[in-house]
Chains A and B, each alone.
Chain A
Amino acid sequence: MAGNTPDWEKLARRATGYLEALATAVTPEPGQEEASEDFDAIASALGDPPDAPGFRTEVDPANAKSVKIYKLPKGASSSRVRDAGGNIDSFRTARSPLGLTNVDTTKRPVVVELYDGDMVLLASSVIE
């Protein structure tokens, strides 16, 4: 019957409006991301580096003089590797795997730290 025919145009308009509202809602407001990143930097300066999902390191078993770093956190631009004896290797850019010259990876724990361009500690990983 004609009276039961859906008003497709009206339904489509309603669905479009809903999707537009949804898109608006999930879009971060201007400045929101900056506030979040600022907080991460402040937390880092306070000694609590933000969680860096996927940041994982391990000594390459095929080469005990290198360390593999997986999934660099956003903004990481330098790294430091330190063994239990206090020996340190620093790298201007974090890359995987890091070739080590000073660090003895048999001296555990080995600590790998990632910094941003301002030498703010972003994350660290301990290889026990």
Chain B
Amino acid sequence: MFYQLARSLGGANQLFQTHPQLLSWWLDEAWRGIRLPSTVTTGTVADILGAPPGIVAAMDFATSPPSNLGFPAGRAFVWPNLIHAYLLESTGVVEIMAEVLRRNSIGETLDAPTIAAQQWFRSTEELFFRDPPPFQAFGIGSHIRRYGRESRRGAYWRMFGLDLPYPIPTRWADPVGGAAWKLDVGTGVNNPFRQQWTEFLRQVWLGIENRRNIIGANQTDVEYIAQLCKTLGDMLRMRRQGGQLAREEAAYVAMMSWFEVTLSGNTPIVDALNANASSPAERLSRIGQRVGMAPTARSRELFELARPASQIIRSIELHRFDTRSGASALFPIASTTLSERMNKVIDLWQSATGEVIKEPRVTVTQMSGTSQPTRIPAPSTPALVPGIPQQQQQPVGTTGNGQAR
């Protein structure tokens, strides 16, 4: 989100020199400025914000002061999918930057900052580490959800069934205790997301491997890939019913994109922390060294994966690959931007997660091996609620043996 604004303003430095009050107002302009390109022929904004449509107007600021930043100003503009925020936060960027902010604000364990670095400190703290201004669409902190870290983890958990790869630091944990956020989300969790997403990547890789194969056995099953895309899309839209998670997604993506821009180059804060390097992951690693912390092991892949993965998932949400022709565009004979991004996502996901996607699946069974599971995947499987016996969680009208009453 801030990446798009930085491009419009002419670079990261122009973004960081903009007053945080204007940026705060701009966030609300961005909220109401979401607009799909008119050339996109499938899907609507409701597919990525939740049906029925109207969440943007319902949550919009009543009278918003203009930021005069000139963007998006009627242009096609969409903020990234929540996966963008999840992958970036998985690097540990929030905790490392929070520690930098903390140290800068309470003592002098860091070098004296430059004026430009001070502007970054101030904007970052004002925008993301304080109670949000009331009545704004992005103001999702309150006495009800006091701990942003837990709220973000809850959103990731609901949408993807994924938690961050590290615990909440003790310093910032909810003093009342524990991971209550995971207990309280109920059955609305997309637990099968990771399995279906990996299967989708694996099937597309089969397509890439065989895209020039016109004479031998070809395991590519375009219809199955289209089916997987429908399932993934349905799964994500299930969590968005009634506009749920729309504001959270926008706010969390905004926060992570701020840090993405921060580390996208040798920006004033990177320079002030003596962390100049050639990649975001290396810059984050050097900043971490200043405060005695280290990013997660695969942060390089996670930084590179965030945007292309978001683009692919947004396209899935917009039904772009739900048809045979749409799915086959993921691995055409002649490469396109789409096919190159898809290939990149497969490479980086395998490297970041360690899940083997490119090796053929070996099945030891009496049946002949097939590339498709027996059953077509369902959008989601309700999770069991902890503390309630499993027998009491059967859907109404079924018995324990699976037969209708």
Across the interface, which residues of A come within 8 angstroms of B212, CB to CB?
Answer: 25
| B40→A41 contact, CB < 8 A | yes
Q: Which listed residue (A31, A50, A116, A118) contacts B337, Cβ 8 A?
A: A50
Residues of B within 8 A of A51 (CB): 337
Are A116 and B39 in contact, with the CB atoms below 8 A? yes
Stretch of B59-67, B70-78, B166-174, B383-391 lying at the A interface: B70-78
The count of A-to-B residue pairs whose CB atoms sit within 8 angstroms is 121
| B97, chain A: closest CB distance, angstroms | 21
**Cα distance, A48 to B79, chains bound together (Å):** 11
Q: Which residues of B contact A47 (CB under 8 A)?
A: 1, 3-4, 7, 80
Asked whether, in the complex, the Cβ of A31 is within 8 Å of the Cβ of B3, the reply is no
Whether B310 is near chain A, meaning CB under 8 Å from some CB there, is yes
Pairwise interchain contact B77-A45, C-beta atoms closer than 8 A? yes
Determine which residue in A28, A82, A84 has the highest number of CB atoms from chain B within 10 A of its CB, and name it: A28
Contact between A120 and B314 (Cβ–Cβ < 8 Å)? no
Q: How far is the CA of A34 from the CA of B400 in the complex (A)?
A: 49
A42→B40 contact, CB < 8 A: yes
- Which A residues lie within 8 Å of B315 (CB)? 38-39, 42
Give A1-59 interface residues, CB cut-off 8 Å to B.
18, 21-22, 24-26, 28-48, 50-51
Bound state CA distance, A48 and B308, in angstroms?
9
Residue of A nearest to B70 (CB): A88
User: Which of A18, A21, A48, A124 has the most B CB atoms < 10 Å from its CB?
Assistant: A48
Say yes or no: A35-B326 contact (C-beta < 8 A), given A42-B78, A48-B311: yes
Judging by beta carbons under 8 Å apart, are A118 and B38 in contact?
A: yes
Q: Does A111 contact B (CB under 8 A)?
A: yes
A120 touches B324 (CB 8 A): no
Known: A29-B325, A118-B37, A120-B75. Contact between A43 and B341, CB under 8 A? yes
Q: Is B332 an interface residue (CB 8 A)?
A: yes
Is A121 close to B, CB under 8 A? yes
Q: Is the CB–CB distance between A36 and B76 below 8 Å?
A: no
Q: Answer yes or no: B51 CB below 8 A from chain A CBs.
A: no
**CB–CB B337/A40 < 8 A:** yes
Contact-size category for A: 35 or more
Taking the complex as formed, is B225 at the interface, i.e. its CB lies under 8 A from any CB of chain A?
no
- Bound complex: CA of A38 vs CA of B42, how far in Å? 9
CB proximity of B327 to chain A, nearest CB, Å: 8
Assuming A47-B7, A48-B311, A119-B75, is B328 touching A32 (CB within 8 A)? Answer: yes
The CA of A38 and the CA of B66, in the complex, are separated in Å by 31
Kindly identify which residue among A25, A29, A48, A118 contacts B76, using a CB–CB cutoff of 8 Å: A118
Known interface pairs A34-B41, A39-B337. Does A21 touch B329 (Cβ–Cβ under 8 Å)? no
Closest chain-B Cβ to A63's Cβ sits at a distance in Å of 23
> Which chain B residues lie closer than 8 Å to A40 at the CB level?
337-338
Q: How far is the CA of A41 from the CA of B77 in the complex (A)?
A: 10
CB pair B78–A46 under 8 Å, yes or no, is yes
Chain A: CB-nearest residue to B310: A46
- Nearest-neighbour CB distance to chain A for B26, whole angstroms, equals 14
- In the assembled complex, the CB of B267 is this many whole angstroms from the nearest CB of chain A, namely 15
For B237, the chain A residues whose CB sits under 8 A away are none
A40 to B341, CA, bound (A): 10
Flag B1-14 by CB within 8 Å of A: 1 or 0 each: 10110010011000
Residues of A within 8 A of B326 (CB): 31-32, 35
Interface centre among B40, B310, B314 (most CB of A within 10 A): B40
Inter-subunit contact A42/B214 (CB<8 Å): no
CB of B318 within 8 A of CB of A35, answer: no
Contact B37 A35 (CB under 8 A): no
Given A31-B323, A44-B76: A120 and B214 interface contact (C-beta under 8 Å): no
Residue among A24, A30, A38 with most chain B CB within 10 A: A38
- Whether the pair B41, A38 counts as a contact (CB closer than 8 A) is yes
A80–B10 Cα distance when bound, in Å, is 12
Q: Enumerate B289-347 residues with CB–CB distance to A below 8 Å.
A: 307, 310-311, 314-315, 318, 320-321, 323-326, 328-329, 332-334, 336-339, 341
Given known contacts A29-B325, A36-B329, A119-B76, A43 and B214 CB-to-CB distance under 8 angstroms: no
Interface residues of B (CB under 8 A from A): 1, 3-4, 7, 10-11, 35-42, 74-80, 212, 214-215, 307, 310-311, 314-315, 318, 320-321, 323-326, 328-329, 332-334, 336-339, 341
Question: Can you list 14 pairs linking A and B with CB atoms under 8 Å apart?
Answer: A35-B329, A36-B329, A36-B332, A36-B338, A39-B311, A46-B310, A46-B311, A47-B80, A48-B311, A86-B10, A118-B38, A120-B76, A121-B7, A121-B75
Interface positions of A (Cβ within 8 A of B) = 18, 21-22, 24-26, 28-48, 50-51, 82, 84, 86, 109, 111, 116, 118-121, 124
Q: Given A26-B334, A42-B311, A45-B35, list of 6 further CB < 8 A pairs?
A: A18-B215, A29-B324, A35-B338, A39-B315, A39-B338, A46-B314
